[in-house]
Structure 1
């Protein structure tokens, strides 16, 4: 027994020690993994984008100067490389500011700052000097660079300055001959292949004079090509320069590819000015289903934010679905906002799927909470189309899917995101693969169509798991960050505040719908617009017959509500209101001032109709067919309103004089007393003539040229005169008889009534 016990003790000890050893090994492995991540983070460069627009001024030069000093200090302190990316556009700045900024970029004080010129579009003029002062130049394959003098040669002083900048820029792909060609159209550039001392072939770019000097030195030249003839502007294409190994270091298509090529974090794409300038932020809540009410509210709040000079709009999203057309319209509206004026941020608290995902992807930056998801833009699940039920579940019109994919492609291009990943959220037939560029080793994600269209050589990898088996792509916060579609997740709104550099005192309470928004949306409906127009025109008609002022107030109220709701709804503005007021003014002139009905009346009617149609529709984002259909729908509603007014007018004209109390509101001509119905009356022909200074006499028969309410116009022979009805309404084109002459007033009544009398 003792022997067994002695043997068992070591075994028990070994059994107890094994878990401890395993835990120690696991802890050591975890520590080593953390340390490896820290080392990798330390090696990864950091950077900053700065946009140089059409004008370089002293403020921009000072701003970039301060930024480069901060980058240099941080790079030295963290022992990492700093990268300053200048996005340069064509402009016409003063040469002094260009020279100062170019000197700064080649300063030896920026030894730890790598400068990169990113040229998204073709660049000409003196802004090219800034690109030449950088360490590297990135530009799309189709863009061109050069022609500093815009067709004219620079002076010798200016050329010497630029050449000095180029010599100090440390761009190994730069050639003085190429730069001279950019400054002088008369210059010639030759590409020369020669052998060096070791027998290896070297490529040089020389001017004609430099080539002659080389030939005089009896250097062996194997090949000579002319890449720029004299008299042509010195413009060089990105793809040709990159393939020939001069001037251009890389040919990315957008900012995302620039960031990937430089191995920078996504935060680097945030502009330098956004953190230093005052951040004016607005938060807009997008909760639940995106229907017309919510879409109209978000559109109004976005317009209000832009009007209040907000430079940061946060859309707080928690939306599972919505109306497909309203969601697409809202996504297009947000995507088209100018990023130079405002930065849009999608903050997904829990879910952004279907319509919610489409709106989130249209923003400049996307942040998800730790447990949020984004994706699954399923048209079959978006059951509404402008408030109308779609076809039965399971059926999908190909045109609708193509329209959606066209929008997602446009959003991806505008926001520099992977078009294949966004397409995979809407189309389950297009799986996405992880691909690697052979030359640079850069990793990207493409579908089969995008991979086949790329001119570069990519190594196709495995399909990402989320797009296998015909599933629509849905991403978590962590997975979205890994695929470069979203930014690192945030715990809550306060962490998002820190990430965006928003002041602690800034109000981040989201704007949400109120009863006013519901009222405006209700008034913007087609039925409400039809009723308001009908009531407004009817009130105008009644006011002309019963001038009490009450109906005028009703007309003004109806049309005010119509244009107010359209103005807040975004379909009407100052132009529509001006046309309506001008049209009504012309109609008033035609009825009460100018005889007959001509140019003023027709112009007034047309202006009124055009203003009402324009105010009833938002034509932005619609095709020509859709705009025509909307216009016809509005004209139909307006025609229906006019038909209702005509019917009401006919009924009122027939029964108005016999309605108690109302008949007393009809105007009686001055000087005319209502006769007693029981008394005897003389025939007008028996009355003695009354002197009247004019060609009109008692008993004359004429024809009304306008409606008499009670005043109007009439024709007696070839005479066109003002007349006054004896009290009743007389329609246009009715035979009338003169029954009284009071001063200069001609009092008439219908000839039919005179015959009966």
Structure 2
């Protein structure tokens, strides 16, 4: 045991002080230990696509609020997370610039104590910038730029930079000190020269006036002109590198995480991919049938497990509304799995297909692209409670007004642009949505969006829902530093997907229809069911199967086609002669084929009327083309074995040519006096075989039974009169 008898006892006051200091040291040690265990930061990265305008500032601030909320949930106690804002520059062809008022609103938001208490802001720049987005950039607490970044003045016409605008830039620059006042003055006013000057104390930037003052006082050792009066100043890495508050480095996710000491598990990215991009393109052109839509849903869910960027390429007329709404919910929910979704519509996404594009995080249109409008989707009818609840769920997930989804489902609804006076925010509302808002009195109704029943690039830009205009898929991929060779384009999955793809192809549809009509014509030319008849039945069967997979054939179309084929068969084998069954069968078959080419029975809008006209012309064109093909083939194959199959009664080429000439001239006098046998009952019209051919004939008045001997007694034009012969 330790002997403390030789140690003098400390006074009580000193012992108390010793104990308190020991406790404080222990607490500090634990805090330092905890910090050492978790020094890495939490961050959320959000991309802001320029231009920043009154139409999209509301959506930007809402997205920032949501991002900060997500970061707050993942942060470590007593730690302010990073809010990383990547400002995406305008494309070279985009002449639209950011509004100063909207940028001023964003600057106020980023500088507000309510935000700075919750997070630290970082502006990330990579590219060329020449608009008022420079103002909110200056308001961030940290600035990270790539070596390739260039910043020009916010207005090409400097007369638009009023003294009030310049004062705002000076105020923000002074508060955050990313750039000295001299640099800001030279950026805002091209008449202000900028120099890099050296004095005994330091090296810094000075305006032309400030340089002259230093020279007059004898304090100027040397100077280098950065820009002279009248030149437009460009801020580049030469200037950036001399600012201690600015970091110049590559701005990819990996370098950002290293620079800011961000924990990989706490590096969030708002509705988008984190780190390395694993992208895939999904072709959304084949959405005509429920089976196709379900197959697409399975494909998307499978792809979401292995990719964090899915680009949907649309070319659809819409179809089954309920199934497409379910698919839209699937796409919208991908943001919860940290999968970014992008819609690209080069030409159109009509009807309910438009809600699929609206469910994506970003939307790109082709130069002539359109979203929504009249299509093949089933008519929605009135806005029921169930439908409104479904649309509200989509609005909550996507932060897009449910009125836009409703317009896609019901193109005839009234839609207006509304503006909130307090913030300048612009939204598109239908009467039902604006009346349901608690703050409806704060919104002012403006321009209607009813001239067109679809949304074009201008409409979506006004509403703040357009990411950009892209001429092709490569241009869209370029926004994510991707090329076509970097991604795989997915259409379908599995055997059912392959069959769907075959059934959807135009060549298969028209090939099967041509085969069916060709066999029918050959069968009409050769009494009795033979190879042509089997080919025709096979062609009709495959055509109906393909149309069924495409979702355009239902019970009505199948019944009409079957009635047509049966009636034509009755005309051939039961009641020879071209009468009611023949005409009715052809009309029924034609009507069934036309209806099977689209997903609706009766057209209800201009698009459907145009489509049914195109279907009619396509069917008629196929029939005419098949008739010509048949005539060419019987002359081409002649007396060969193929010729005997498609035209067995004309296997004697000389006889066929002579009879064809006679029939074409309606010159059947050569038949007078010939004898033959009836192939059907003459009552008084029917059919009879004369030589090697079967003709339509009429008796001289009496009824003649089938298989009776007859003799041609008279020919008048194309009327062949026969009498019973003993």
TM-score (norm 2): 0.42
TM-score (norm 1): 0.40
